[in-house]
Structures are given as C-alpha cells and as structure tokens.
C-alpha cells in the first residue's frame, strides 16, 4: 500500500512540475518585457542588465520547439543576440533605444511566426519614432520616450496565445 501511495505521489509531483515549467519562448518573452520596462522607466543601467539577461536567455535554444520552429528560432536568435549585445554594451539611453527598435522588429517577426506565446502580446507603434515594440498589456507605455511621451503610441497587432 505504501508503495502504491508513493507511486501516486511521484506521478502527481512530476505532473505538477511539468505543468509549472515555462516554455523556452516564454522565458525569452519575459526577458524582453523586462528590458522594455527598463526603457519605459528610462533606466539605462537596468536596461543594460536586462539586455544581458535576454542575451543569456537567447543563448539557450528552447527544447520544446518542433524541428521547423527550431530552424526559425536559429534564424532570428543571432539577430536578437546582436541587438541585445549592442544594448548591453551601451550606457547611453538613446543608443539603447535605437537598438531596441531593431530588437523589437526581430522579436515580433520570430514570435508571430512561432505562435508559441502562452499569453497575449501586443505590438505597439510609436509614430514619432516610427518604431514598434511588444507589450504584455494593451496599455501604451512607450519605451522610446519614457516619461517624456509615455502614452504615445497605438496597438497595431495582437499575438494571441498559442492553443494548447
């Protein structure tokens, strides 16, 4: 009886652990959003740190992707790592924001093709900078201007969560 009970505990523990695991692309999204939020706050030092974290996250290929998705990920990972590296090498907010524009463009291209995000993402656009970014909320918080023009922008597209 104890062995049976122990078997159930092990099975349910492993099921709970697998349910709590975050997908590889969700880790990338979380790191990207943290960088975006640092830029919204006009915090160059934090943006530098967050871009290093994103760079590290991008260096680990998500194991939960199908072969075709792995190829797509590889295609964009180098571009995203280059953008992240440029941001991490600068302490100048204006330069970080320039590279964030390219990072956001590549991130949207990757995520819209993969369709693996577990929650909605919103592509937002700043007409003043002519640049887009991704957000976890529909509320506009502009990473290109921060407090200067925090609400400048519109939602251009929604990446709906992947169906399980």
A 10 A CB-CB count for 17 gives 9
pLDDT of residue 19 exceeding 80, the answer is no
Domain limits of the chain? 23-159
Lowest-pLDDT choice from 3-12, 72-81, 112-121: 3-12
Alpha-carbon span 65 to 67, nearest angstrom: 7
Q: Assess contact for 66 and 23: CB atoms under 8 A.
A: no
Domain 23-159 has CATH 3.40.1350: no
Q: Assess contact for 109 and 120: CB atoms under 8 A.
A: no
How does pLDDT run across 78-126, given as a tens digit for each residue? 999 999 999 999 999 999 999 999 999 999 999 999 999 999 999 999 9
């Amino acid at each position: 009886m104890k062995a049976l009970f122990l078997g159930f505990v092990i099975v349910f523990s492993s099921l709970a652990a697998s349910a709590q695991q975050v997908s590889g692309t969700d880790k990338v999204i979380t790191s990207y959003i943290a960088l975006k939020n640092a830029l919204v706050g006009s915090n160059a030092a934090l943006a530098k740190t967050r871009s290093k974290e994103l760079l590290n996250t991008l260096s680990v290929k998500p194991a939960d992707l199908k072969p075709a998705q792995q190829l797509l990920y590889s295609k964009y990972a180098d571009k995203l790592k280059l953008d992240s590296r440029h941001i991490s090498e600068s302490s100048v907010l204006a330069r970080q924001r320039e590279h964030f524009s390219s990072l956001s463009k590549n991130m949207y291209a990757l995520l819209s093709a993969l369709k693996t995000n577990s929650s909605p993402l919103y592509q937002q656009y700043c007409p003043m900078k002519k640049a887009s970014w991704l957000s976890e909320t529909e509320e506009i918080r502009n990473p290109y201007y921060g407090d200067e023009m925090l609400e400048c922008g519109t939602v251009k597209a929604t990446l709906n969560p992947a169906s399980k």
